[in-house]
Structure 1
Amino acid sequence: MIQVFPQQIQKGVFILYDVVDQRRVISFTIAIILFILAFLGPAAILLPLKTGFITREAQLIGTSGWSLITGGVGFLALAAVFVLFAAMEDKMKKWTISFVLFAIGVAGILLTLKDYYYYTSEHFVFNGPFTLTSQAYEWTDFESVNENLSKKGSTLFVQSLEFKMKDGKTYHFDRGRMLQQYQPIVSAVTASGGKHIRNGE
């Protein structure tokens, strides 16, 4: 018969508490890291990651402003998972809520990775926010490229762009690299029979 003394029980309880505390510290640490990544990660990590999978022939690669938001929400949701594991005692609620938050986190990061546009010498590819599928257009698929101009003093500048496609879709750009590097698209579209329209002259 094995005798268990109070000192042994007390020592075992201390070891158990020590292990639990270490797990909580690790969970909170990971949560803090993910919280910081919610503000830095989409631009510093996810953008370079997705551009690495796009063809080297791309002359310009851009993304919508939504990609920073969806990626940030994704990292915040993952951070919340680790906070729950550190703070919540009810296992059923913890696992249920954590599963939902994990799904939101993965979806947010995936949407950021799939939010991009680029063009090569042969075509234009657009994968907009909140969709996982991309659309590729040949230059003959463009109906027109519209420059929406605005005047500041006596100087005209491009406020936004609209790409109107023959399939009825219109793509609007009012910020980002596209406004500085769209001229090759205009040349390719007009050479293929499309229109170049300047509104506001």
Structure 2
Amino acid sequence: MADFYDQKKIILVTFGIILLISALFVPAAVFYPAKVVTITPEAEIVGTSFWSLLFGSAGMVLLAATLFMAALIEQRMKAWLLSAATAALGLVSIAFSLGDYYYMTNDGFTYNPPLSFNSSTYTWEEFERVEERLHKEDGTSSIESVAYYFRDGDMVEFSSGRIFEMHSSLVHRVEAAGGEFTRIQAQ
């Protein structure tokens, strides 16, 4: 019986190490493509925040810790309780990772922020204005951040990500629907 138990520990630790190593690349290589595949086919570009990758990695690390605890803690009840709590946190972290996205279609812009499971969809007519903040360094201007203001008072700001790939197309659609575009040069 002791040999079987030791093999069980070895298997749990091995899978834990695999999950730990996978935490480095799975959020970008698996979670992001899963979002792209499951989001509506009308989406032109799908983006996600840096937090999504961090939450995905943290969730995988917590799942690895679950396996390590199950294998290494000798008291069975304590091991199962700690493992279950850690696994629950890991799964919630992965769910937050998968739920963080934004995309643009012909009809509007959809945004599901980090740490939320509720997305908001805005038609082009609901955009009040778009602000593009530029940063000048060594005589070259680059976009530092973009902010989108909506007629209902909401505002979304991005400082990195695929939003910059869709930004010019988004601005064009907002202006065509009657919204304003402002470019602000940082000092």
Equivalent-residue separation in structure 2 for 1:126 and 1:99 (angstroms): 32
Equivalent-residue separation in structure 2 for 1:178 and 1:18 (angstroms): 54
In the alignment, structure 1 residue 145 sits paired with structure 2 residue 130 = yes
Which TM-score applies when normalising by structure 2? 0.96
Residue 154 (structure 2) aligns with: 169
Residue 91 (structure 2) aligns with: 106
Equivalent-residue separation in structure 2 for 1:111 and 1:23 (angstroms): 31
Residue 84 (structure 1) aligns with: 69
Equivalent-residue separation in structure 2 for 1:59 and 1:152 (angstroms): 31
CA-atom RMSD in angstroms: 1.1
| 1:42 Cα deviation from its structure 2 partner | 0.6
Question: Residues 111-147 of structure 1: CA distance to partner in whole angstroms, max 9, x if unpaired?
Answer: 1111000001111000010001111000011111100
3-state SS, counterpart of residue 161 of structure 1? strand
| 1:38 Cα deviation from its structure 2 partner | 1.4
- In structure 1, stretches of 5+ residues that fail to align are 1-15
In the alignment, structure 1 residue 95 sits paired with structure 2 residue 104 = no
| 1:181 Cα deviation from its structure 2 partner | 2.6
Residue 196 (structure 1) aligns with: 181
| 1:166 Cα deviation from its structure 2 partner | 1.1
Equivalent-residue separation in structure 2 for 1:189 and 1:118 (angstroms): 15
Q: What is the identity, as a one-letter code, of the residue corresponding to 1:61?
A: V
- In structure 2, stretches of 5+ residues that fail to align are none
In the alignment, structure 1 residue 156 sits paired with structure 2 residue 141 = yes
Residue 135 (structure 1) aligns with: 120
Percent identity, aligned pairs only, is 38
In the alignment, structure 1 residue 50 sits paired with structure 2 residue 24 = no
Aligned residues: 186
Residue 22 (structure 1) aligns with: 7
3-state SS, counterpart of residue 144 of structure 1? strand
Question: Residues 50-76 of structure 1: CA distance to partner in whole angstroms, max 9, x if unpaired?
Answer: 211011111111000100111111111
Which TM-score applies when normalising by structure 1? 0.89
Residue 172 (structure 2) aligns with: 187
- The list of structure 1 runs, each at least 4 consecutive aligned residues, that deviate by more than 3 angstroms after superposition, is none
Q: What is the identity, as a one-letter code, of the residue corresponding to 2:58?
A: V
| 1:39 Cα deviation from its structure 2 partner | 1.3
In the alignment, structure 1 residue 72 sits paired with structure 2 residue 72 = no
Equivalent-residue separation in structure 1 for 2:35 and 2:170 (angstroms): 22
Q: What is the identity, as a one-letter code, of the residue corresponding to 1:56?
A: P
Q: Which has the larger radius of gyration?
A: 1
3-state SS, counterpart of residue 117 of structure 2? coil
